[in-house]
Amino acid sequence: MNTTPATEPLTMAVPKGRLLDQTIEFFESCGLSFSFEKRSLVAHETSGLLKLILVKNSDLPVYVKHGIAGMGISGEDTLYESGTEFYQLYTFNFGATHMCLCCREDYDPSMDQRQLAVATKFTRFARDYFHGQGIPVEIIRLGGSVELAPVLGLAPYIVDLVETGSTLRANKLKVTKTLAEIQVRLICNPAYYKLHFDRINAFITRLQGITTLEMPKNE
Amino acid sequence: MPKKKRSLLQIPQGTESFYLEDAYRHRKLVERVTEQFYRWGYLPVQTPIVDYYDSYRSLLTENADRGIYRLIDRDGELLMLRSDVTLFLAKQMGMILKSEELPVRVYYADTILRHEAADDISQNEFFQAGIELIGREELEGELEVLGLLQETLATLGARNTVTHVGTRKLTAGIRARLGESAERRLVHAVIMRREEELAEILADYSTKQREAYLSLFRYIGNASGLRVLRETVAKELGEEVTSALLEIEHVFAVLEELNLVDCFRVDLSEVGNQPYHSGMVFQSYMHNVAQPIASGGRYDGLLARFGLDAPSVGFACMLRRVEEQLDARTQPGQISGIEPFATAQGESFVERFRTARQARGQGESIVL
């Protein structure tokens, strides 16, 4: 078969930050260890199976879509906002969180206008969710610190990821409704999968083996 | 930025310009590919760049429909720009061909226009070169097209390619039982390899049948593996599915006889992403290219929509995606002439002109 040499490592984009630490920890439990060069954004798995490329979370789907990295690890929230469909090959048992509708603790829902005003980073998700429910919605796009919007009076509601709820409590906000459970997925560019399916499947089997042995409830 | 300058710098989404060496190489590759098509007995067709939108509306997927550029003619009719040569060609052929003329072999090499998001540079699908074999119902039609596809990729100098072959016939029974809407969802789930969604769509089937379908749709491999799988699922999925799988096995047996089988894989998640696909379908992949470089298959009912009830099989090669990966200096059969031109020597213009004329007579490219 005239495809990539089997010696070339599989490429995977991983988001910098919290998910990176959890990913490395999980991979280590599968017997995969990585050598990071100082300040480098590329890491190699010591046996040559994987090459990790560290990217900004929101840019990750772009790198995988364009085939710069064949695979990637990403939350469903980021995937949804990218608007791109990927193969979703595996669900990790770490990093799960919730997409929630939140408002001030003292907010009275009877104050709601006919059209809901929502501030969020997740504009595509919010629009599709409320339209799916038949609710007209005004979306205000924010880049960060979304919890300030209800506090400062920009919008009564926010749609944001909630993990422990401590940021909400610190800003005197509460969850009104959980809109979706968000999980962390291993994604793959479909064309990349077709060219490397046997090695990718073997890699997934290795991950599943670990999950089955150690964490049977989550997979 | 001043408005005038911005309008000069912007390029409309879904369009492309390329120049000089790139354009020369593109034209040479098109020449080479179309010459190849001709040697296989295919004649050229030229489709219009615009046509009436209503003619194609029901044949467009939701995504394809979103990407189309539409315009209104002077009589108020809604037109669309050519976004997929196959559709425009089907209408032309459906209207002009007569059944006694079949089989007919045609080729095309044309630009297409479709909207793509600003960040969607991965598509680069602005030029299609392809063929249609009209009026050949037997599997020899598929074999001819697959053979020509493989030679076309070789002619282009595309290395590290593999073509995955599947069939839409696997979902025909599901359409009959669950309806067209369920089949559309199923086709999308199969293509995206979403097993949970597949299991949900197939909830009406028995556990054994569901598992049999899932094992089929996840299969990628060779023909001998397919034979084992067919024998396993035959009892659960019946005659229609078995016969579809036997067709693929037959095609692979012939490809093996032709020493071509190493360039192909059986992939039953290839079920065709167009609503008009009806039989065997395939997509070609190339190392370092993030999208398929060619796709095609059988669409026996498509021409009937335009007046000619004739089977049809063909492929389109996304030439620009391949070109980006080619290095003229290293590819076999490299394209001559994109090295720097020689300059004619001589004291006067007349002398240089004569020297150049002589050099050109010997096949060289030379500037005055």
Q: What is the DSSP string of B137-198?
A: -SHHHHHHHHHHHHHHHHHHT--SEEEEEEEGGGGHHHHHHH-HHHHHHHHHHHHTT-HHHH
Q: Does some domain include residue B329?
A: yes
Residue A112 confidence (pLDDT) above 90 = no
Report the mean per-residue pLDDT for chain B.
90
Decide if B311 contacts B298 (C-beta within 8 A). Answer: yes
Alpha-carbon gap: A196 to the closest alpha carbon of chain B (Å): 10
Cβ-defined contact of B162 to A194 (cutoff 8 Å): yes
pLDDT number for residue A219: 34
Interface of A to B at Cβ within 8 Å reads 1-4, 62, 65-67, 83, 85, 87-89, 189-195, 197
Q: Are strands A10-15 and A50-55 parallel, antiparallel or unpaired?
A: parallel
Residue B352 confidence (pLDDT) above 80 = yes
pLDDT number for residue A111: 78
Q: Does some domain include residue B73?
A: no
Residue of B nearest to A85 (CA): B192
Q: Does some domain include residue B292?
A: yes
Whole-number Å distance between alpha carbons of A2 and A189: 19
Q: Do residues B329 and B355 both lie within one domain?
A: no
Tell me the chain B residues in contact with residue A193 when contact means C-beta distances shorter than 8 Å: 193
- Tokens 């290395």, residue located: B159
Q: Do residues B285 and B310 both lie within one domain?
A: yes
Residue of B160, B190, B198 to mutate for A, most A C-beta atoms under 10 A:
B160
pTM to 2 decimal places: 0.91
Q: Do residues B309 and B346 both lie within one domain?
A: no
Residue A20 confidence (pLDDT) above 70 = yes
Give residue-wise pLDDT tens across range A47-102.
899 999 999 999 999 999 999 999 999 999 999 999 999 999 999 999 999 999 99
Residue B356's domain spans which residues? Answer: 342-368
Q: How many domains does chain B have?
A: 2
Q: Do residues B159 and B218 both lie within one domain?
A: yes
Sign of CA dihedral B199, B204, B209, B213: negative
Domains, chain A, with CATH or none: 10-95+183-214 (3.40.190.10), 97-182 (3.40.190.10)
Give residue-wise pLDDT tens across range B318-346.
988 888 787 655 454 566 546 678 899 99
Q: What is the CATH number of the domain that holds B155?
A: 3.30.930.10
Give residue-wise pLDDT tens across range B68-118.
899 999 999 999 999 889 999 999 999 999 999 999 999 999 988 877 655
Percent of chain A with pLDDT over 90: 77
Q: Do residues B246 and B166 both lie within one domain?
A: yes
HEC string of B266-311?
EECCCCCCCCCCCCEEEEEEECCCCCCCEEEEECCCCHHHHCCCCC
Q: Do residues B294 and B368 both lie within one domain?
A: no
Report the mean per-residue pLDDT for chain A.
90
Q: Do residues B329 and B352 both lie within one domain?
A: no
Q: Do residues B244 and B351 both lie within one domain?
A: no
Q: Do residues B222 and B361 both lie within one domain?
A: no
By residue count, chain A amounts to 219
Cβ-defined contact of A1 to B262 (cutoff 8 Å): yes
Q: Does some domain include residue B1?
A: no
Q: Do residues B325 and B311 both lie within one domain?
A: yes
Instruction: For residue A103, give the amino acid letter.
Output: C
Across-strand partners of B80? B51, B70
Residue A2 confidence (pLDDT) above 70 = no
Residue A150 — φ and ψ, nearest 5°? -70, -35
Q: Do residues B173 and B247 both lie within one domain?
A: yes
Give residue-wise pLDDT tens across range B227-265.
999 999 999 999 999 999 999 999 999 999 999 999 999
Q: Does some domain include residue B248?
A: yes
Q: Do residues B217 and B269 both lie within one domain?
A: yes
* Residue B139's pLDDT band (cuts 50, 70, 90): very high
* C-alpha count within 13 angstroms, C-beta hemisphere, residue B111: 12
Q: What is the ipTM of this complex?
A: 0.90
Cβ-defined contact of A1 to B194 (cutoff 8 Å): no
Q: Does some domain include residue B246?
A: yes
Q: Does some domain include residue B59?
A: no
Of the partner residues A66, A83, A85, the one whose CB lies closest to the CB of residue B122: A66
Q: Does some domain include residue B11?
A: no
Torsion of CA B233, B234, B240, B244, to 10 degrees: 70
